[in-house]
Amino acid sequence: AQKKSLNFIEAFVEQDLKDGKNDGRIQTRFPPEPNGYLHIGHAKAICLDFGIAENYGGACNLRFDDTNPVKEDVEYVDSIQEDIQWLGYKWKDVYYASDYFQQLWDLAIELIKQGKAYVDEQSAETIAKQKGTPTIPGTESPYRNRPIEENLELFKKMNTGEVPEGAMVLRAKIDMASPNMHFRDPLMYRVINSHPHHRTGWTWKAYPMYDYAHGQSDYFEGVTHSLCTLEFEVHRPLYDWFIDQFKDSDYRPRQIEFNRLNITYTVMSKRKMLQLVQEGLVSGWDDPRMPTICGLRRRGYSPESIHNFIDKIGYTKFEAMNDVGLLEHSVRESLNKTATRVNAVLDPVKLIITNYPEDQVDMLETVNNPEDESAGTRTLAFSKELYIERDDFMEDAPKKYFRMTPGQEVRLKSAYIVKCTGCKKDAEGNVEEIYCEYDLQTKSGMPESNRKVKGTLHWVSAAHCLSAEVRLYDRLFSVENPSADERDFRDLLNPNSLRVLNDCKVEVSLGDAKPLDQFQFQRIGYFNVDLDSTSDKLIFNRTASLKDSWAK
């Protein structure tokens, strides 16, 4: 088999293995904050974290980065686990940053005792103003050199509840003139009094900041490669600094950064997605228009299609915007191989075969999937009255119109060739019924069926079909990059991102379909059964149209 070339992270990992680092041990982690549902961007990180561990005989742990109780919730913890498993990955252990609160606290005390951390009583605004710029050194806080004893006492107070939020922070004492802004006495702890933590309740009032907690958590667990997105590249020296303060052997986790996934016509910030959900602008986190894993799943994306997409975009050191067309291409590619071809008429109009016997029903054989012989065949009922798509008929058609128009022959898929003879219209001129005659000799499989006919139409038998609701989805936003737009992102929503068709006709075999089953509606697109679908009310979602906008 052809070996895929290594991405730059795999190359680092292989080099570390060659150099005998960490005795050949490989350990990664996926560290979501449980403050929202996972999105396709997280899938990119998941495939890398779990993929590296799998490929190099290592382990990947799931670590909930739960250091900010304000927005975190067990609902998110549960959904995150479900989504990772659905993508096909197994973590070795589940950890919570909150399990390390005591350890982190003890190390912070240690740092204070060494004179390397202090309690600052200035406001967040003042601290920000004193930061300086990369070329202008910052201003030292007046509290920077307070006695160690005082720091210890105040730090403990930060955790009792008597210090109001924002009144005090613990800062590492590093270098207010460092060219790296992250070294200018970064915050290590802040006070959060107003929210209980979803796991530790009211035990803690002082909570560690990301830069401190994340690297130390990696260190406590024995992570060898800590993979994160590019915006953390400038944090890496600080990540290393904290580890240097405490490490007691040669072992250290290595942070490596890669480019985030950005996709056109959507937003992937959890804050914005939460707003869409809370304000009812979508039906929930799993609305099929959302870029969440659960939204994509409900939309009909398979894990395979997501893996293929992630493989195609790859991992680099450059921020980029990926075309949503490539994601759609990946799901088509995957469903083309697996989806059963069925007949569904979204905008039905009656087609009457005038020379077909009144009560006769033909059972016609049709293949389930031309891409997969093992999928077998099934039978379709054919009778005098059928439904076809309204826009597959034109009374006065131009020359190159190959569908149904008076005087012209078309093929009815898996059935006969028919010749249109006319139509009936109501007072307003709307077509009510279309008439045609069939040719018995042209039954699919018979010699005459090879007659040259340009158009092939899908259909369902009027007496052998079911009514269904079909939800047609389009892109959630009408601009390519809503996050780069100065207008409020909610004003950029595509008003036509959902169209509901109430009276579609689908072949009877779909009566047995279960939620999330996938199909190709012939000539229309890929559809799946919605989670809300029941045998009394069938509901289908359009996963993707057949037409591929992705230029190969």
Q: Which residues are catalytic?
A: 33, 260, 270
Closer by beta carbon to ligand ATP, 169 or else 261 = 261
How far apart are alpha carbons 520 and 545 in whole angstroms? 9
To Mg ion, the closest distance from the beta carbon of 217 in angstroms equals 13
Token pair belonging to 156 = 């403990």
Closer by beta carbon to Mg ion, 17 or else 274 = 274
Closer by beta carbon to ligand ATP, 12 or else 401 = 12
Half-sphere exposure of 169 (CA within 13 A, CB side): 20
User: Does residue 44 bind ligand ATP (CB under 6 A)?
Assistant: yes
To ligand ATP, the closest distance from the beta carbon of 50 in angstroms equals 12
User: Does residue 62 bind ligand ATP (CB under 6 A)?
Assistant: no
Quickly count: other Cβ atoms within 10 Å of residue 172's Cβ.
24
455: Cα separation from own chain's centroid: 38
Cα angle 35-195-153, degrees, rounded to a multiple of 5: 120
Q: Count of residues binding Mg ion (CB under 5 A)?
A: 1
Quickly count: other Cβ atoms within 10 Å of residue 345's Cβ.
28
Q: Virtual CA dihedral for 421, 427, 430, 434, nearest 10 degrees?
A: -20
Tell me the C-alpha to C-alpha distance, in Å, between residue 506 and each of 175, 472, 499, 503, 513. Answer: 70, 15, 18, 10, 11
User: Does residue 323 bind ligand ATP (CB under 6 A)?
Assistant: no
To ligand ATP, the closest distance from the beta carbon of 40 in angstroms equals 8
How far apart are alpha carbons 467 and 345 in whole angstroms? 10
405: Cα separation from own chain's centroid: 44
Q: Count of residues binding ligand ATP (CB under 6 A)?
A: 15
- Side chain identity, residue 436: C
Where does this chain touch ligand ATP (CB under 6 A) — which range of 268-276, 319-327, 375-383, 485-493?
Answer: 268-276
Where does this chain touch ligand ATP (CB under 6 A) — which range of 245-253, 263-271, 385-393, 398-406?
Answer: 263-271
User: Does residue 81 bind ligand ATP (CB under 6 A)?
Assistant: no
DSSP 294-328: HHHHHHT--HHHHHHHHHHH---SS---B-HHHHH
From the list ligand ATP, Mg ion, none, which binds 208 (C-beta under 5 to 8 Å, kind-based)?
Answer: none
Closer by beta carbon to Mg ion, 33 or else 333 = 33
User: Does residue 29 bind ligand ATP (CB under 6 A)?
Assistant: no
Contact string (CB under 5 A) for Mg ion, positions 29-58, x = contact? ----x-------------------------
Closer by beta carbon to ligand ATP, 289 or else 542 = 289
Q: Which residues of 393-423 are buried (b: 16+ CB within 10 A; e: fewer)?
A: bbeebeeeeebbbbebbbbbbbbbbbbbeeb
User: Does residue 198 bind ligand ATP (CB under 6 A)?
Assistant: no
Bridge partners of residue 456, in order along the sequence:
411
Half-sphere exposure of 92 (CA within 13 A, CB side): 16
Closer by beta carbon to ligand ATP, 261 or else 476 = 261
Q: Is the dihedral of CA 307, 309, 314, 318 positive or negative?
A: negative
From candidates 26, 45, 465, 510, binder to ligand ATP by CB under 6 A? 45
Closer by beta carbon to ligand ATP, 90 or else 451 = 90
User: Does residue 228 bind ligand ATP (CB under 6 A)?
Assistant: yes
CB-based closest residue to ligand ATP: 41
From candidates 26, 31, 98, 207, binder to ligand ATP by CB under 6 A? 31
User: Does residue 236 bind ligand ATP (CB under 6 A)?
Assistant: no
Please report, as ranges, the residues that interact with Mg ion according to CB under 5 A.
33
Q: Which residues bind ligand ATP (CB under 6 A)?
A: 31-33, 41-42, 44-45, 65, 228-229, 260-261, 268-270
